[in-house]
C-alpha cells in the first residue's frame, strides 16, 4: 500500500483498541498492509485527535532536505547533463564524491539518485558506445 489518505488513516485508527490483540497497532498494520508496521500506526495514533483532519499533512512537517535546490542544480544536475551532452558515462558515486568534497555534507549515493530523479528528471540509462570519430565530432572545442 502506498501513501495512505487521511480518511483511511482515520478509519484504521477508529478500530484501535488498547489491550486487544486483534486491534493492536501491529495487528491493524498487518491487516491493512501498512508498510511501516505497528510503529507507523502508533505514530499516527499519537498525532490523531479523533478527526480525519488531524491526519492531513501540514506544511513544514517531515524531514528537511539535505541539499538546497541551488546545490542540487550545481552539484548534481549540471555535471550529469554535461556528461550526457558529451556522451560520456557518469557514475553517481563520482557525483557523490564531488558533492561531498564541495559541500561537506554527508550524502548517500541513493540520495543523489533520488534528487536527480525526482527534482530534475534524470533517469538511469545505459549509454551507447561511441566511436572515436563520433566523440571528436560531438566534443566542444
Domains in the chain: how many in total? 2
pLDDT at 40: 93
115 is a domain residue = yes
74 and 51 both lie in a single domain? no
pLDDT of 15 strictly over 80: yes
Domain with 95 in it: 69-124
Average pLDDT over residues 1-17: 86
Chain centroid to Cα 122, Å, comes to 14
Q: Rounded CA gap, 92 and 99, in Å?
A: 10
46 and 10 both lie in a single domain? yes
pLDDT of 60 strictly over 70: yes
pLDDT at 1: 46
Computed over every residue of the chain, the mean pLDDT equals: 85
112 is a domain residue = yes
Model confidence pLDDT, tens digit, residues 86-111: 888 888 899 999 999 999 999 999 98
47 is a domain residue = yes
64 is a domain residue = no
60 is a domain residue = no
Choose among 119, 87, 93, 120: nearest CA to 108.
93
- Assessment of whether the complete model's pTM goes beyond 0.95: no
Q: Rounded CA gap, 140 and 9, in Å?
A: 55
Amino acid at each position: 500500500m502506498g501513501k495512505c489518505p487521511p480518511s483511511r488513516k482515520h478509519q484504521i485508527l477508529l478500530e484501535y483498541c488498547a489491550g486487544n490483540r486483534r486491534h493492536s497497532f501491529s495487528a491493524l498494520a498487518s491487516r491493512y498492509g501498512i508498510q511501516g508496521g505497528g510503529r507507523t500506526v502508533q505514530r499516527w495514533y499519537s498525532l490523531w485527535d479523533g478527526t480525519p483532519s488531524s491526519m492531513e499533512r501540514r506544511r513544514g512537517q517531515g524531514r528537511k532536505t539535505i541539499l538546497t535546490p541551488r546545490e542540487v542544480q550545481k552539484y548534481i544536475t549540471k555535471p550529469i547533463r554535461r556528461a550526457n551532452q558529451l556522451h560520456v558515462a557518469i557514475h553517481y558515486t563520482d557525483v557523490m564524491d564531488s558533492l561531498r568534497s564541495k559541500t561537506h555534507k554527508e550524502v548517500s549515493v541513493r540520495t543523489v539518485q533520488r534528487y536527480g530523479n525526482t527534482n530534475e528528471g534524470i533517469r538511469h540509462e545505459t549509454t551507447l558506445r561511441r566511436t572515436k570519430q563520433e566523440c571528436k565530432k560531438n566534443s566542444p572545442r
